[in-house]
């Protein structure tokens, strides 16, 4: 099940959503969270998903990452079609092919940093690739704190452990849900730097939901969502560029 | 603040349900016991009053035909003189004793209850007012008897049938003359009653022309007290006379005293339920307070005082306690009703009567429920008051109380040490006082261990962690760590099981140890193949001994006959035995002299008595015999004392010279070729197939002595069941709280790939670990306690050796594990079904 990431092959697709729809409720109370979204996440690319609150950016990530079910369309991770999978298979898929970084509660307080990093492999009952794990830990700069428990680490260090955990099992794709949302700007910059390095140097694929234009500027590509639809895309974004684009949507939102 | 308390109660219905259940159970036992006792004693009182309604004066003598010491009873002449007194309208004189009725298969009817025989005492109208005949009439000839209705039904006897009746003498066949009903208490309780013609009964039980009891009825308007004064001078010295009212009172009191055993058992259950419940309640409120930290901080921030916060928690506890007590009270009344019908289904006829619910059970139920709950909530309430107002502003999830356990550990260690010292000291003393000390020490040690239990949880759980990891993988690892995350909570949860298992293990160890040593004592001391005794526990008739001696295949026979001897001016418990045979049927270890000298009219004395009195072989002791004759006896042997031998042994023939009727307790028999079905049959038929006489083989003998112990252990196991039930509630409570607190973690674990099955397993293992931890603590403490009690009993039990019932202890552990599994069903399910997306969303 282990897949070695093939670096610098930006033409292959790591994850793909086709005509993806997600509808909550029925009849008059029906809410369309995702409206036939089609998007590719290419291997070795760092993608940021942006959009105002309620635009469906988190829902899109949850559906693609196999955390949530969807109402229509299809999602593929690598060769696997998610729509037909049962909970158990989805769980296995997440375990073996996906890495996660959440905004908070990434770590188990009872486990040390080291144990947290290898947790997905422990769950899978796989032996971690020691060399790779050491490489990841070196890159994240946590070597001295591996025996610490989360409570003994700062917020920034905790998120770095979370990044290391996501990278350690060499997943096909890593999803981040506002991974810097709870951090100050310096710690946030460090974490984003690591994510970008993992893409540049290790060929990892990363998809991140954020509402912070600075965070988005670390990505190779930014997708803008509004009302459940992809409304724009920006390659090689800068913080100012993203901010301007966001302001445009806000202005539109206000006038409409 | 009361409104806040009420709102809180309503908001946490599910959590508080566990508390309510625990309090309810305890209250139900308390009120159920009280209502049951009240109802029953009222019923018995009514019945006694009715029984002695028309009795003005009751005369009781404790005369017993088999024991000449007890006097000769009230003679017919005295009865006649009483009858001639002014105002007396009727006199009924009674004589009674043991009488067993055989069913058509030769088995005794009503085994285990009183099997009584009495005289039928018809008045001038030919009727005896104590008995109402449904069929036939009272015995009118010496070979006729009447039976109570239930006994007749059990034996399927009809009027005119031949019925075999065994008294202390040989079995005799009688013709059934009638079937009656009666208010007699023994019959109500499931016993049997046979009525004989008065002369027959007198001959069987006392002496011709003599009675034991006389009931005197008087004309209306007669002063009972005055009549009593007239009756007393007529009576022999050993007889006692009372007014009917006084007797009824006394009887009611006796019945109440008889019920106090049952009462105590039930109240012990209530005590355990409440004691264990305290931990559950305290735990629940601690959790509720922790969960509400922000809310309470907010209240403090907007101006609530610490006192108000504490009071609000206590008010909440009071409300919960009140509801639980009210429900418990209702349940208790049902329990009382159930107990009553339960007793009748056991064959005891409990007199009917209304359910008596006095103020006592109501007040005590409510007081116990409310007070216990509030007491248990007091500490959590104080903790709540200590929450600083600033906690409301803190956006970070409040860390669970990481307060050092240092003070707690010191207090716990000191209490445990004092308790353990007291237990060990009590064990060393080895007497009644030692046992009291052990009891006190056990209580202290239990409290101490409960205080220490949070600290104990870490190292003990750490021991099993490698096993958890290697067998259950990551779920086991996480469960092991989760179990010690909040040591206080784990400790409080485990306490419930620890308390229950301490008691049960301790008593099991004692029970099994005592049982084993009794068993060993029996095997060591009895060489006989069979023991013959009356099923009633009364003395055997001399004819039985003669019959056994003549039975085919018998190689040695010796009775143990209680004999009266005064040696050196002091009463000496003595058994008369058959010289030459006694050492073949019982183990007699001679220290000096020879046991064979019994045949020469010498006596044998036990080592202890010999030492105490300075007797040696060859000494001649001045003796007073049972018939008051004086003489002297020579010591022929000194032997090692044993449970089965009296301190003084004497030859049967010598004893018989001085006793009218031998008081034979048991007969020990050795057969050619040992125990065999044929041998047993030969004995039984030699004894005339008497249903009242039991012939016991070695296994039966052991069972007889072990039976009591097993019964005690069964009560203890019922206690275990209840402790386990409450423990389940406690574990459910803790797990539900843990799952609630760890929602985000569980959501994260699910997201990164832990499947539902393993989430469930993680929660389940945590429950099992906590349960087993509690059980282990309880078992260790219980074994220590059992050892200590055993030590204190050592002197009374020769051949004592501590026996640890590993099998039973294994079962206790298994049950504790099962408690964990059962308790985790619901929390594990809700953990596995957790909505991942909600859980991982930041606050």
Kindly tell me if the per-residue pLDDT of B777 is higher than 90. Answer: yes
Residue B513 in contact with residue B652, Cβ under 8 Å?
A: no
| Final residue of a structural domain among B208, B233, B254 | B254
Q: Do B842 and A103 touch (CB under 8 A)?
A: yes
One domain for residues B64 and B192: yes
Distance CA B482, CA B486 (A): 8
If one counts every other C-beta atom within 10 angstroms of the C-beta of residue B606, the result is: 21
Backbone angles phi, psi at B706, to 5 degrees: -85, -15
Is B744 an interface residue toward A (CB < 8 Å)?
Answer: yes
Pick B127 or A162 by higher pLDDT.
Answer: A162
Domain that holds residue B356: 1-52+256-398
Asked if residue B643 is part of any domain, the answer here is yes
Q: Comparing C-alpha atoms, which of B2, B18, B11 is closest to residue B823?
A: B18
pTM as predicted = 0.74
Backbone angles phi, psi at B562, to 5 degrees: -65, 125
Residue B560 in contact with residue B723, Cβ under 8 Å?
A: no
Asked if residue B436 is part of any domain, the answer here is no
Question: How distant is the Cα of A168 from the closest Cα of chain B, in angstroms?
Answer: 12
Distance CA B206, CA B213 (A): 12
Q: Comparing C-alpha atoms, which of A208, A201, A163, A157 is closest to residue A183?
A: A157
Q: Comparing C-alpha atoms, which of B374, B367, B315, B318 is closest to residue B27?
A: B367
HSE value, Cβ hemisphere, 13 Å, CA-based, for B159: 12
One domain for residues B672 and B746: no
Query: What is the band of B711 on the pLDDT scale with cuts at 50, 70, 90?
Result: confident
B416 forms beta bridges with none
Residue showing tokens 């309208």 = B89
Is B769 an interface residue toward A (CB < 8 Å)?
Answer: no
Asked if residue B623 is part of any domain, the answer here is yes
Residue A138 in contact with residue A144, Cβ under 8 Å?
A: no
Residue B423 in contact with residue B786, Cβ under 8 Å?
A: no
* Cα B342 from chain centroid (whole Å): 17
pLDDT tens column, B13-71: 666 777 777 778 778 877 887 888 788 778 777 777 777 777 888 888 877 766 666 67
Q: What angle do CA A96, A98, A100 make, to 5 degrees?
A: 125
Query: What is the band of B394 on the pLDDT scale with cuts at 50, 70, 90?
Result: low
Q: Where are the alpha helices (DSSP H) in B61-144?
A: 76-83
Residue A34 in contact with residue A56, Cβ under 8 Å?
A: yes
Residue B226 in contact with residue B92, Cβ under 8 Å?
A: no
Asked if residue B450 is part of any domain, the answer here is no
Q: What pLDDT was estimated at residue B397?
A: 42
Kindly tell me if the per-residue pLDDT of B162 is higher than 70. Answer: yes
Residues of A in contact with B742 (CB under 8 A): none
Residue showing tokens 């797990």 = B735
Residue B592 in contact with residue B615, Cβ under 8 Å?
A: no
Q: Where are the alpha helices (DSSP H) in B669-755?
A: 677-686, 698-741, 743-751
Going from the C-alpha of A108 to that of each of B207, B481, B482, the distances in angstroms are: 89, 10, 10
One domain for residues B502 and B603: no
Average pLDDT over residues B439-460: 87
pLDDT tens column, A101-110: 988 878 888 8
Distance CA B837, CA B442 (A): 51
One domain for residues B648 and B588: yes
Helix-strand-coil split of chain A, %, nearest 5: 40, 25, 35
Q: What pLDDT was estimated at residue A2?
A: 39
Asked if residue B415 is part of any domain, the answer here is no
B180 forms beta bridges with B133, B148
The CATH superfamily holding the domain A45-56+86-255 is P-loop containing nucleotide triphosphate hydrolases (3.40.50.300)
Find the helix or strand (DSSP H, E) in which A20 lies: strand A13-24
Going from the C-alpha of B164 to that of each of B536, B606, B691, the distances in angstroms are: 16, 42, 9
| 3 state SS of B396 | coil
B398 forms beta bridges with none
Kindly tell me if the per-residue pLDDT of B839 is higher than 80. Answer: no
Mean pLDDT, all residues of chain A: 86
Is A108 an interface residue toward B (CB < 8 Å)?
Answer: yes
Kindly tell me if the per-residue pLDDT of A218 is higher than 90. Answer: yes
Distance CA B19, CA B322 (A): 12
Q: Comparing C-alpha atoms, which of B206, B174, B202 is closest to residue B102?
A: B174
Number of domains making up chain B: 4
- DSSP result, A152-214: GS-HHHHHHHHHHHHHHT--SEEEEESTTTTS-HHHHHHHHHHHHHHHHHH---EEEE-S-HH
Is A106 an interface residue toward B (CB < 8 Å)?
Answer: yes
Pick B84 or B351 by higher pLDDT.
Answer: B84
Distance CA B489, CA B453 (A): 10
Two structure tokens written together for B23? 């309090």
Q: Which range is most confident: A1-5, B23-27, B158-162? A: B158-162
Residue A87 in contact with residue B752, Cβ under 8 Å?
A: no
| Start-to-end CA span in chain B (Å) | 28
One domain for residues B369 and B494: no
Residues of A in contact with B745 (CB under 8 A): 105, 108-109
Residue A175 in contact with residue A207, Cβ under 8 Å?
A: yes
Query: What is the band of A53 on the pLDDT scale with cuts at 50, 70, 90?
Result: confident
Mean pLDDT, all residues of chain B: 83
Pick B4 or B609 by higher pLDDT.
Answer: B609
Percent of all residues in chain A with a pLDDT value above 70, rounded to a whole number: 93
Distance CA B239, CA B70 (A): 10
Residues of A in contact with B461 (CB under 8 A): none
One domain for residues B173 and B266: no
Query: Which residue in A94, A102, A105 is closest to B753 by CB distance?
Result: A94
Give me the interface pTM, i.e. the ipTM: 0.82
CB pairs < 8 Å spanning A and B: 76
One domain for residues B212 and B349: no
Distance CA B834, CA B746 (A): 8
Distance CA B488, CA A63 (A): 41
| Final residue of a structural domain among B398, B415, B448 | B398
Q: At what angle do helices A130-140 and A113-124 cross, to 10 degrees?
A: 140
Q: What pLDDT was estimated at residue B604?
A: 92
Kindly tell me if the per-residue pLDDT of A219 is higher than 90. Answer: yes
Query: Which residue in A68, A91, A181 is closest to B753 by CB distance?
Result: A91
Strands B88-94 and B57-61: unpaired
Q: What angle do CA A226, A231, A235 make, to 5 degrees?
A: 120
Residue B216 in contact with residue B52, Cβ under 8 Å?
A: no
Which of A102, A117, A171 to probe by mutation at the B interface, max B CB count within 10 Å? A102
Q: At what angle do helices B306-345 and B13-51 cross, to 10 degrees?
A: 40
Q: Could you say which residues from 467 to 526 on chain B have a Cβ atom under 8 Å away from some Cβ of chain A?
A: 473-474, 477-478, 481-482, 485
Percent of all residues in chain B with a pLDDT value above 70, rounded to a whole number: 92
Q: What pLDDT was estimated at residue A173?
A: 93
Q: What pLDDT was estimated at residue B111?
A: 65
Question: How distant is the Cα of B481 from the closest Cα of chain A, in angstroms?
Answer: 6
Q: In what order do the strands lie in the sheet with B57-61?
A: B88-94, B213-218, B57-61, B239-243
Distance CA B397, CA A104 (A): 11
DSSP annotation of A109 reads: T
Backbone angles phi, psi at B150, to 5 degrees: -65, -40
Backbone angles phi, psi at B700, to 5 degrees: -60, -40
One domain for residues B27 and B172: no
One domain for residues B540 and B515: no
pLDDT tens column, A68-103: 889 999 999 988 899 888 888 888 898 889 999 988
Residue B192 in contact with residue B536, Cβ under 8 Å?
A: no
Query: Which residue in B474, B751, B842 is closest to A94 by CB distance?
Result: B751
The residue ranges of DSSP E strands in B344-495, in sequence order, are none
One domain for residues B498 and B556: no
pLDDT tens column, B29-45: 778 878 887 887 787 77
Q: Could you say which residues from 41 to 100 on chain A have a Cβ atom under 8 Å away from some Cβ of chain B?
A: 62, 67-68, 87-88, 91-92, 94-96, 99-100
Question: How distant is the Cα of B763 from the closest Cα of chain A, in angstroms?
Answer: 15
Question: How distant is the Cα of B16 from the closest Cα of chain A, in angstroms?
Answer: 28
Distance CA A114, CA B735 (A): 27
One domain for residues B62 and B208: yes
Kindly tell me if the per-residue pLDDT of B781 is higher than 60. Answer: yes
Distance CA B688, CA B547 (A): 8
Q: Do B753 and A96 touch (CB under 8 A)?
A: yes
Q: Do B753 and A125 touch (CB under 8 A)?
A: no
Distance CA B226, CA B224 (A): 5
Average pLDDT over residues B388-407: 60
Is B396 an interface residue toward A (CB < 8 Å)?
Answer: no
Distance CA B34, CA B361 (A): 6
Is B402 an interface residue toward A (CB < 8 Å)?
Answer: no
Pick B612 or A206 by higher pLDDT.
Answer: A206
Question: How distant is the Cα of A63 from the closest Cα of chain B, in angstroms?
Answer: 11
Asked if residue B430 is part of any domain, the answer here is no
Strands B603-606 and B630-639: parallel
Asked if residue B445 is part of any domain, the answer here is no
Two structure tokens written together for A129? 């690739």
Query: Which residue in A110, A120, A181 is closest to B752 by CB distance?
Result: A120
Distance CA A175, CA B751 (A): 11
Going from the C-alpha of B794 to that of each of B52, B522, B608, B641, the distances in angstroms are: 48, 16, 17, 15
Kindly tell me if the per-residue pLDDT of B267 is higher than 90. Answer: no
Residues of B in contact with A149 (CB under 8 A): none
Find the helix or strand (DSSP H, E) in which B625 lies: strand B620-625
One domain for residues B68 and B110: yes
Residue A6 in contact with residue A43, Cβ under 8 Å?
A: yes
Is B700 an interface residue toward A (CB < 8 Å)?
Answer: no
């Amino acid at each position: 099940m282990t897949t070695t990431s093939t670096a610098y092959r930006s033409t292959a697709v790591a994850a793909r959503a086709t005509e993806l729809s997600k509808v909550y409720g029925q009849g008059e109370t029906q809410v369309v969270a995702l409206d036939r979204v089609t998007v590719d996440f290419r291997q070795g690319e760092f993608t940021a998903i942006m959009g105002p609150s309620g635009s469906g950016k988190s829902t899109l990530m949850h559906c693609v990452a196999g955390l949530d079910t969807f109402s229509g369309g299809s999602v593929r991770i690598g060769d696997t079609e998610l729509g037909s999978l049962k909970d158990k298979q989805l769980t296995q898929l997440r375990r073996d092919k996906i890495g996660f970084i959440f905004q908070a509660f990434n770590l188990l307080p009872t486990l040390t940093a080291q144990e947290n990093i290898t947790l997905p492999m422990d769950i899978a009952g796989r032996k971690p690739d020691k060399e790779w794990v050491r490489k990841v830990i070196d890159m994240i700069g946590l070597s001295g704190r591996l025996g610490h428990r989360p409570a003994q680490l700062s917020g920034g260090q905790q998120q770095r452990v979370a990044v290391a955990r996501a990278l350690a099992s060499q997943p096909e794709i890593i999803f981040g849900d506002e991974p810097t949302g709870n951090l100050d700007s310096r710690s946030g910059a460090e974490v984003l730097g690591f994510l970008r390095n993992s893409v540049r140097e290790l060929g990892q694929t990363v998809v991140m939901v954020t509402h912070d234009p600075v965070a988005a500027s670390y990505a190779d590509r930014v997708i803008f969502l509004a009302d459940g639809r992809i409304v724009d895309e920006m390659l090689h974004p800068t913080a100012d560029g993203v901010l301007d684009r966001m302001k445009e949507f806000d202005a539109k939102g206000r006038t409409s | 603040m009361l409104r806040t308390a009420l709102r809180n109660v309503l908001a946490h219905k599910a959590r508080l349900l566990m508390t309510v259940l625990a309090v309810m159970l305890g209250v139900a036992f308390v009120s159920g016991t009280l209502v049951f006792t009240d109802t029953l004693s009222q019923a018995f009182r009514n019945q006694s009053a009715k029984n002695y309604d028309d009795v003005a004066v009751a005369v009781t003598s404790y005369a017993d035909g088999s024991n000449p010491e007890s006097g000769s009873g009230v003679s017919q002449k005295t009865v006649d003189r009483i009858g001639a007194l002014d105002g007396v309208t009727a006199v009924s004189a009674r004589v009674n004793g043991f009488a067993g009725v055989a069913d058509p298969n030769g088995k005794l009817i009503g085994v285990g209850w009183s099997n009584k025989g009495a005289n039928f005492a018809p008045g001038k109208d030919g009727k005896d007012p104590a008995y109402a005949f449904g069929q036939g009439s009272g015995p009118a000839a010496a070979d006729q008897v009447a039976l109570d209705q239930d006994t007749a039904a059990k034996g399927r006897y009809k009027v005119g049938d031949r019925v075999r009746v065994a008294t202390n003498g040989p079995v005799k066949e009688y013709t059934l003359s009638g079937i009656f009903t009666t208010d007699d208490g023994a019959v109500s309780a499931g016993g049997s009653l046979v009525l004989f013609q008065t002369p027959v009964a007198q001959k069987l039980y006392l002496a011709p022309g003599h009675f034991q009891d006389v009931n005197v009825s008087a004309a209306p308007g007669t002063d009972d007290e005055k009549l009593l004064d007239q009756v007393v001078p007529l009576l022999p010295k050993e007889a006692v006379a009372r007014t009917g009212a006084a007797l009824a009172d006394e009887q009611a009191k006796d019945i109440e005293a008889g019920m106090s055993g049952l009462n105590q058992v039930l109240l012990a259950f209530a005590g355990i339920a409440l004691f264990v419940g305290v931990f559950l309640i305290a735990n629940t409120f601690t959790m509720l307070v922790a969960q509400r930290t922000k809310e309470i901080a907010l209240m403090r921030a907007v101006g609530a005082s610490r006192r108000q916060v504490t009071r609000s928690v206590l008010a909440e506890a009071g409300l919960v306690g009140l509801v639980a007590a009210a429900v418990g009270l209702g349940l208790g009344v049902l329990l009382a009703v159930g107990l009553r019908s339960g007793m009748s289904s056991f064959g005891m006829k409990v007199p009917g009567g209304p359910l008596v619910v006095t103020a006592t059970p109501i007040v005590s139920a409510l007081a116990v429920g409310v007070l216990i709950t509030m007491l248990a909530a007091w500490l959590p309430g104080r903790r709540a008051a200590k929450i600083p107002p600033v906690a409301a502003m803190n956006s970070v999830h409040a860390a669970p109380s990481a307060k050092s356990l240092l003070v707690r550990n010191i207090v716990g260690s000191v209490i445990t040490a004092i308790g353990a010292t007291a237990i060990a000291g009590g064990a060393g003393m080895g007497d009644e006082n030692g046992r009291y000390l052990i009891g006190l020490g056990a209580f202290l040690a239990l409290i101490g261990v409960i205080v220490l239990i949070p600290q104990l949880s870490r190292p003990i759980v750490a021991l099993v962690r490698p096993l958890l990891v290697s067998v259950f993988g990551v779920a086991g690892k996480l469960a092991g760590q989760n179990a010690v995350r909040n040591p206080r909570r784990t400790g409080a949860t485990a306490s419930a099981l620890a308390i229950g298992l301490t008691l049960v293990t301790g008593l099991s160890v004692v029970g099994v140890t005592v049982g084993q040593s009794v068993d060993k004592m029996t095997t060591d001391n009895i060489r006989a193949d069979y023991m013959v005794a009356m099923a009633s526990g009364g003395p055997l008739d001399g004819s039985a001994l003669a019959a056994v001696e003549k039975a085919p295949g018998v190689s040695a026979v010796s009775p143990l006959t209680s004999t009266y001897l005064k040696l050196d001016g002091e009463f000496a418990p003595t058994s008369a035995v058959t010289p030459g045979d006694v050492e073949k049927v019982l183990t007699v270890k001679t220290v000096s002299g020879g046991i064979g000298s019994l045949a020469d009219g010498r006596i044998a004395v036990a080592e202890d008595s010999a030492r105490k009195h300075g007797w040696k072989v060859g000494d001649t002791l001045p003796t007073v015999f049972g018939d008051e004759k004086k003489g002297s006896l020579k010591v022929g042997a000194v032997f090692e004392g044993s449970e089965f031998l009296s301190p003084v042994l004497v030859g049967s023939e010598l004893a018989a010279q001085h006793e009218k009727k031998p008081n034979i307790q048991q007969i020990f028999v050795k057969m050619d070729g040992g125990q065999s079905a044929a041998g047993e049959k030969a004995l039984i038929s030699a004894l005339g197939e008497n249903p009242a006489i039991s012939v016991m083989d070695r296994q039966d003998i052991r069972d007889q002595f072990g039976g009591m112990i097993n019964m005690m252990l069964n009560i203890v196991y019922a206690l275990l069941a209840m402790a386990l039930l409450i423990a389940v509630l406690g574990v459910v409570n803790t797990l539900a709280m843990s799952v609630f607190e760890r929602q985000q973690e569980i959501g994260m674990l699910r997201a990164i790939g832990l499947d539902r099955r393993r989430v469930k397993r993680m929660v389940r293992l945590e429950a099992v670990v906590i349960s087993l931890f509690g059980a282990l603590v309880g078992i260790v403490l219980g074994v220590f306690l059992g050892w200590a009690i055993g030590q204190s009993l050592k002197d009374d039990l020769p051949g004592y050796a501590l026996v640890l019932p590993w099998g039973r202890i294994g079962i206790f552990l298994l049950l504790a594990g099962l408690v964990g599994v059962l308790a985790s069903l619901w929390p594990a399910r809700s953990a596995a079904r957790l909505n991942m997306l909600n859980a991982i969303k930041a606050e």
